[in-house]
Amino acid sequence: MSYRENIEHLCEHIKEHFATAPKCHDWDHTERVLHNALKLHETEGGNREIIEVAALMHDYARPEEMESKGKLCHASTGAKLVRSVLPSFGFTDPNFINHVSECVLCHRYRNNHVPQTIEAKIIFDADKLDSIGAIGVGRAFHFAGRFSARVHNTREDAINSDSYSENDSAYREFLVKLHKIHEKLLTKTGRQIGEERHIYMLNFFDQLNKEVYG
């Protein structure tokens, strides 16, 4: 089978794998990360095939993480699953699998694995870019709605609230997490896109505060 045929079969498998995944980390998210990654590749370089497969596989273990209620790290678990899943779809070169596994392992902030290769840096940035800008705001409201949080609240209420509480609003997500992301991106192109998306979020929440609080 050709590389493209292998990719098509892998995509169908991942779609099925994510059938019951929360909509913040589902096939749509994977497609957006893939789009971001290939866009970054155009200017940053790297091995396109590694980047493409790693983008498709980066969140593969989200269902396992959810089932464990957070006890498993989806990045670490996913990096291991890459080694068993990819050969089933025609990707058998050990070096290729190792590179993809490393990209998956390093794409998350909280597992202390820092991306070293350009491919891993691109996957890291591509994933983070989907957390900011207009899509980031949309995802933040979607997530807050899942836990019946308020549509909007004051900066004080947001900052002083607990996770998964009534005041864990999209605004809190921005104040606590999203406003820092553009500074942590690893590629030049990623930082440029991230800065644009950061400015969008600043303007959005500034306008929202004006409409709600005058």
Please say whether the beta carbons of 175 and 201 come within 8 A. no
pLDDT of residue 17: 87
With respect to residue 124, please indicate whether it lies within any of the assigned structural domains: no
SS3 for 56? helix
Encoded amino acid at 29, one letter = H
For the chain, helix (H) and strand (E) counts, in that order, are 12, 0
CB 11 within 8 A of CB 57: no
- Domain end call among 85, 117, 149: 117
d(CA 143, CA 149): 9
For residue 78, the domain's CATH number is: 1.10.3210.10
* Same domain flag for 112 and 168: no
One-character DSSP codes across 159-172: HTPPTTSTT--HHH
Report pLDDT digits (tens) over 100-124. 999 999 998 766 789 999 999 999 9
Let me know whether 138 and 196 are in one domain: yes
Residue 113 amino acid letter: H
Give yes or no: residues 93 and 139 share one domain: no
Domains in the chain: how many in total?
A: 2
Residues 213 and 111 in one domain: no
Question: Do 136 and 105 fall within a single domain?
Answer: no
**pTM (whole model) above 0.75:** yes
The answer to whether the beta carbons of residues 201 and 178 sit under 8 Å apart is: yes
Instruction: CATH number of the domain at 149, please.
Output: 1.20.58.1910
First to last CA, the chain: 61
* Domain identity same for 66 and 143: no
Whether 126 is in a domain gets the answer: no
Q: What is the pLDDT of residues 166-175, one digit of tens each?
A: 999 999 999 9
Which residues of the chain fall short of a pLDDT of 70? 21-24, 65, 67-70, 110-111
Q: Which domain holds residue 110?
A: 1-117
